[in-house]
A and B are shown apart, each in its own frame.
Chain A
Amino acid sequence: MIHLPSSPFPALLVGLPILMATLSLFFRPGGKAAVGLMGSILTAGLALIAFVEVTQRGTVIHILGGWEPPLGILLRMDSLAAVFIGMTAIVGVFISLYAWGYFRAQETSAEGLPLFWPLWLFLWAGLNGLFLSNDLFNLFVTIEVIGISAVSLAVLTGKTPALFAGLRYLLAAITGSMAYLFGVSLLYGSTGTLDLGLLGEVLEPGPTTSFSLLVITLGLMIKMAGFPFHFWLPPAHSSAPAPVSALLSALVVKGAFYILLRLWMEVFGVSLTYAAGQLIGLAGAIAVIWGSWQALIQTSFKLIVAHSSVAQLGYLLMVFPLLILAPGVSADSADWLSPAWTAGIYQVIAHAFAKASFFLSAGLIIMALGHDRIESLRDLVGNMRITALAIGIAGVSLIGLPPSGGFMAKWMLLKGIFLSGQWWWAPVVLMGSLLTAGYVFMLLRLAFAPAREMNTFRPVPKSLEIIALMLALGSFLIVFPADSLIQFLESSGVFGSGIESIIEGGVYGND
């Protein structure tokens, strides 16, 4: 690892948001927002510069304080990390701009709301740190930073439903991270290292490895609300203020997915079997169907969107069975790996944009109506044209209609499914899209329906509507750089490779 080029950016990407968050705590509410917004813009700018640096120099590292691992901490920014950091920056800065206007427009300004800014910057530092981490323990610390700030953000309004949902979320998060840490302790006990790359080399298949794989995977599944641990997500995401819901759904849950992806691909190769892949794929498939169905039968806008998140995260889990190669198949001959990877990455990015747009639109609807019961969405088009357009466009991406980012994800997922011969996943993808179309069109039908009674839409700031629309458009624009993005990702070792170790090891065959 030492021969990789060193760069200050990984450290700055974690340090700057923490600095700005701490700084903002010293100011009064108005100043908090100003410092917070400035911090968001600076962090996003820095993230984009760092992204460009990685495209030019390849993977860069930073050794904090010059203390070499194992005692010090090494941050690594490869292309996969760069893409996640870039996505967080773009979605994050739009949500920040929205939050600035949203909290100003709130008539009843609760005391806690300005704390959004420091908490969000701490959350951002945690996310950047997570994407840059190169060892298991650092991943634990960053995911705890994310968890604690995410729960604090979720209970920002201080209202009772939010507090119940927040406590449920926090207990789930603690359970998840302790399960993860227990697995880490077993791995450290059996190998004496926490470094991801080194672990991938020295880890041997056996009961200890399999057990730590199990507890780590279960812990992370709780954190990313994978079925059957999704119970905490809908109440927590729907009871938070709109910008927070957008952050939680678009970015926070992706953190746990990122760790899961890294660990399965880089560390646990030796213990993964075809059956393990099928099992996690099954959890994803159930989440897709169950989440979409639940979204279809909800009657409040934010609960629809929150259940939709459970479903969309299910698609991410369905990528795993495609990445694990059956015995006797080499990565070179497995032509479904590239579509599967593309599907996973595009699902992450397209969902981040579309879901952020959805929740920001939900915030505007609540601002206009005072509630978000869907029967009141009648004549939304006549009153809030831009918001209705944003919901329509983001909805198209969620369903997966061309030419959206969501289409790219689902198309590539289907392509990977058919190329790998695991056809049994295909009906799930199609069924999920159909159900998604069901709830999106249900919303749009109401939006176009004539009003039954006198309209009570209060005016909302047009700038906020435009931000929601831009995020929705973003879920389409991401399709254009697809070729160069995939080439960039393939330049790092992880992307595009499958888990072949089973063939070499052969100890845990296709059982």
Chain B
Amino acid sequence: METYQIYSLTSAILFIIGIGGIFMARHFIKKIIATVIMGGGVFLSFVSFAQRDAITFADPVPHALVITGIVVAVASAALALALARRIYQLTGEETFTNDK
């Protein structure tokens, strides 16, 4: 097995853990963490395709994409955390069970 394949496989596993977490976790913070894990999987997937063997030079494009992607993901996660915190301050709720 090539090294990059290990990373690719890991990225797929992280992605699936993230998806599962978003749907199965109830607590807001757990859901947000799940989106971050999902994002980590996606970014690892990009990076894993950058260099497939030790001979050729690494492709710089995936790294540029991942840096942009991380910035976007951080902003999304920050907004989600701010919303979750505000909901907690106003209602004390930490899950979607009682929203109406």
Known contacts: A171-B35, A178-B18. The answer to whether A163 contacts B45 by CB under 8 A is no
Which one of B15, B42, B65, B76 lies within 8 Å of A144 (CB-CB)? B76
Complex: A175 Cα to B83 Cα, angstroms: 16
Task: Give the shortest distance, in Å, between A311 (CB) and chain B (any CB).
Answer: 23
Q: Cβ of B90 and Cβ of A152 under 8 Å apart?
A: no
Known contacts: A141-B72, A148-B75, A182-B41. The answer to whether A167 contacts B59 by CB under 8 A is no
The total of chain A residues at the interface (CB under 8 A) is 35
What residues of B have a CB within 8 angstroms of the CB of A161 in the complex? 99-100
Complex: A158 Cα to B100 Cα, angstroms: 15
Known contacts: A161-B99, A164-B99, A182-B45. The answer to whether A171 contacts B80 by CB under 8 A is yes
What residues of B have a CB within 8 angstroms of the CB of A178 in the complex? 15, 18, 35, 38-39, 42, 73
Complex: A164 Cα to B8 Cα, angstroms: 35
Task: Give the shortest distance, in Å, between A390 (CB) and chain B (any CB).
Answer: 30
Complex: A99 Cα to B69 Cα, angstroms: 33
Q: Cβ of A185 and Cβ of B45 under 8 Å apart?
A: yes
A residues 174-205 in Cβ contact with B at 8 Å: 174-175, 178-179, 181-182, 185-186, 188-189, 192, 194
Nearest A residue to B68, CB-CB: A141
Q: Cβ of B76 and Cβ of A174 under 8 Å apart?
A: yes
Known contacts: A148-B76, A148-B79. The answer to whether A186 contacts B45 by CB under 8 A is yes
What residues of B have a CB within 8 angstroms of the CB of A71 in the complex? 61, 64
Contact bitstring A361-397, B, C-beta under 8 A = 1, else 0:
0000000000000000000000000000000000000
Main secondary structure of the interface of A (DSSP, over half): helix
Contact bitstring B19-35, A, C-beta under 8 A = 1, else 0:
10010000010011001
Complex: A509 Cα to B73 Cα, angstroms: 38
What residues of B have a CB within 8 angstroms of the CB of A160 in the complex? 87, 90-91, 99
Task: Give the shortest distance, in Å, between B58 (CB) and chain A (any CB).
Answer: 13
Contact bitstring B59-100, A, C-beta under 8 A = 1, else 0:
101101100110011011101100110110011010010011
Task: Enumerate 29 A-B pairs (CB-CB under 8 Å) in ascending A order.
Answer: A140-B72, A141-B72, A151-B79, A160-B90, A163-B86, A163-B87, A165-B99, A167-B28, A168-B96, A168-B99, A170-B76, A171-B31, A171-B35, A174-B39, A174-B76, A175-B22, A178-B35, A178-B38, A178-B73, A181-B42, A182-B15, A182-B41, A182-B45, A185-B45, A185-B62, A186-B45, A188-B46, A188-B61, A189-B46
Q: Which residues of B contact A (CB under 8 A)?
A: 8, 11, 15, 18-19, 22, 28, 31-32, 35, 38-39, 41-42, 45-46, 48-49, 59, 61-62, 64-65, 68-69, 72-73, 75-77, 79-80, 83-84, 86-87, 90-91, 93, 96, 99-100
